[in-house]
Amino acid sequence: MPQEPAQQPPASETQMQHTPDHGEHSYRGSGRLAGKVAVITGADSGIGKAVAIAYAREGADVLISYLSEDADADDTRKWVEEAGRTAVLMRGDLAEPHHCRDVIDRAVQEWGRIDVLVSNAAYQMTHETVEEISDDEWDHTLATNLSALFHLVKAAVPHMGPGSSIIGSSSVNSDTPSPTLMPYAATKAAIANMTASLAQLLGPKGIRANSVAPGPIWTPLIPSTMPQEKVEKFGEDTPLGRPGQPAELAPVYVLLASDEASYVSGARVAVTGGRPVL
């Protein structure tokens, strides 16, 4: 990657010099999610934004959950509405259990049900030693990345019917953890494990649960959480030799949300540029 200005988290797409590709000008829908209602966390930028755009172009209405990046979230809303679908913005911190419940309540108030839940919002920070990781950061990382999935699912399941889909954003770090991202990597392994459990718990209700394991994807999270020397080489160590773009994740999330994946549950789908997830 060329040099990218550093940011402080939470990072914003609007401050990036090399803007990620979310599929704004490339994704073409074909009605695969027609009439569905989707809740997507972290949908202001990165993978979540690409998924929101794709879902809308496939015919879904979308609740866009985000932390505080209003300009980014408003841009996602614009693309959803340009696709002819309804977008609802929900600002707030998913590390707080009550906000997870508020997100689900808002979707139910708007549409009366939830067909797809994508738990994608995440926090990470690079540390060279265990001693650098504060207790507060450890707790915050687990609350944002993992506990939020639990609270969202618990609140959403009563409003999900047969054929509904839960999708957790895991990571290649779930299988081959980066030691400098230890708290983040631990949560991503747990997300893969938790969605596998949910697939078994919720199968009798006809609700599917899967996770997606991205490799190095170019999002605002990268320049705000990694040292510059790592940002410049980001993704070069994959077999494909480059980082992925958020738009390259969206088709997998569409498949898992669609009725075409009616027998896919308990899976972890790797989108890693060639890094194996076994």
Catalytic center residues: 184
CA-to-CA distance for 274 and 144, rounded, in angstroms? 28
CA-to-CA distance for 153 and 18, rounded, in angstroms? 34
Per-residue b/e over 70-95, b at no fewer than 16 CB within 10 Å?
Answer: eebbebbbebbeebebebbbbeeebb
What residue spans of the chain are helical by DSSP H?
A: 46-57, 70-82, 97-111, 135-142, 148-156, 182-202, 221-225, 228-232, 250-257
Query: With contact defined as beta carbons under 8 Å apart, do 42 and 246 qualify?
Result: no
Sheet containing 208-214, strands listed edge to edge, beginning at the edge strand earlier in sequence: 87-91, 61-66, 37-41, 116-119, 165-169, 208-214, 268-271
